[in-house]
Structure 1
Amino acid sequence: MSGDDTADSTVLDRLYETVDSRRGQDPATSYTAKLFSRGTAKIAQKLGEEAVEAVIEAMRGDKRKLSEESADLLYHLMVLWADAGIKPAEVYAILAAREGISGIAEKEQRKHTSGGN
């Protein structure tokens, strides 16, 4: 960490803007541009890899490494959102709509409205 005490959730919005700005840039000079150039399947694969790494560190009980893998996971999620044309505000709105609703009730509601999982 940079030691910056002002770090907060707005960093996610800034990260998304940075990620989205890399679309179409030179893959030789930007890892994010390289991911975009490799397509949705590769981006999704990288997200899955980071999720597994986060799970491994959680099982090991290493908070620092779990925090690092969580940052990697969030970054790759932002790349996937940008690739799909999803803005963070869309996800935030869904989370806000679910706020205060039991997770069990919310999942049951999704089953009935979308035939979901």
Structure 2
Amino acid sequence: MAQYTRTRLDASFAALSDATRRGVLEQLGRADASISDLAEKFHMTLTGMKKHVGVLEQAGLVTTEKIGRVRTCKLGLRRLEEEAAWIERYRQLWDARFDALDEVVEELKRKEKVHGRKKRE
């Protein structure tokens, strides 16, 4: 199970690492679109957009349906809950580390105020 989750996270973060793919997700969040429409909107070739959509589809973030000659894209059923939980764990870890650093800095400021700054000779 852990390997499946890791693989899924890898696919999701790889898909989300590209600005065009994030833009496609934003666009599909507003309305379904054909690959041709997406390619035009993002000023790229149909082949290039197909590759981006393929990466999103492999990650489960987008689904496509071909009707006739038109392949329509829409958001997938995945809600990125696992990815959000992973990010939250690391956010909490870094918050704790920064809080500890703040305490050290405040302690140093208190000591400096009490003892005065030592002059360099």
State the TM-score, normalizing by the size of structure 2.
Answer: 0.24
Structure number with higher strand proportion: 2
Structure number with higher helix proportion: 1
Q: Max radius of gyration: which structure?
A: 2
State the TM-score, normalizing by the size of structure 1.
Answer: 0.25
